[in-house]
Amino acid sequence: MSTSLQPKRRADDVTALRVMTEEMRPLLVGDGYQMFDVRAPQSSGPPPHQHPWDESYVVLEGELWVSRGGEETTLQVGEAIRVPAGVVHAYRVLSEGARWLTTSSFPGGALDFFSDVDETSNGPGDVKALIEAAKRNNVKFADPALG
């Protein structure tokens, strides 16, 4: 097993990837996991979707509604939840804004997906770029109309 030491990183010092209206800052990447500092405005969040990597959320600021596998819950500061790989899930920011840590585990490509959307999008409302990036990165939307 490889153990590579990474320098410490401050979220505000990391260039944000823009995924629709959210800012994803990759803090740590490697050895089977990825960690992002996520900041988003009220009412933002993805449509129901699934992907081949586990994901966890830890709320740092604000309030987040989460649906996973048909169950719904609201997360507040200090609360966390895990979404296993392949489970359909979605979230919405309920507060004026929110900030949370997202971790993902391999196999997966959360960083690849977020980078793809950031590089190909023409702005926060570019749904077409999101759909195309999802296809390239094995992210599947629950709504067939989204591909």
pLDDT in tens, 96-131: 999 999 999 876 689 999 999 999 888 878 999 999
DSSP-assigned beta bridge partners for residue 141: 49
Per-domain residue ranges of the chain: 9-139
pLDDT beyond 90 at 5 = no
> Is domain 9-139 classified as CATH 2.60.120.10?
yes
What does the alpha-carbon distance between residue 107 and residue 54 come to, in Å, rounded to a whole number?
Answer: 8
Q: 3-state class of 36 per DSSP?
A: strand
Q: What was the pLDDT predicted at 35?
A: 93
Instruction: Name the band, by pLDDT with cuts 50, 70 and 90, for residue 16.
Output: very high
Of 58 and 109, which is predicted with more confidence? Answer: 58
d(CA 68, CA 60): 20
The stretch 22-45 carries a mean pLDDT of: 92
- Predicted confidence band of residue 4 (pLDDT cuts 50, 70, 90): low
Whether the pLDDT of residue 2 is over 60: the answer is: no
The reported pLDDT for the residue numbered 105 is 85
Please say whether the beta carbons of 58 and 101 come within 8 A.
Answer: yes
* 109: β partners: none
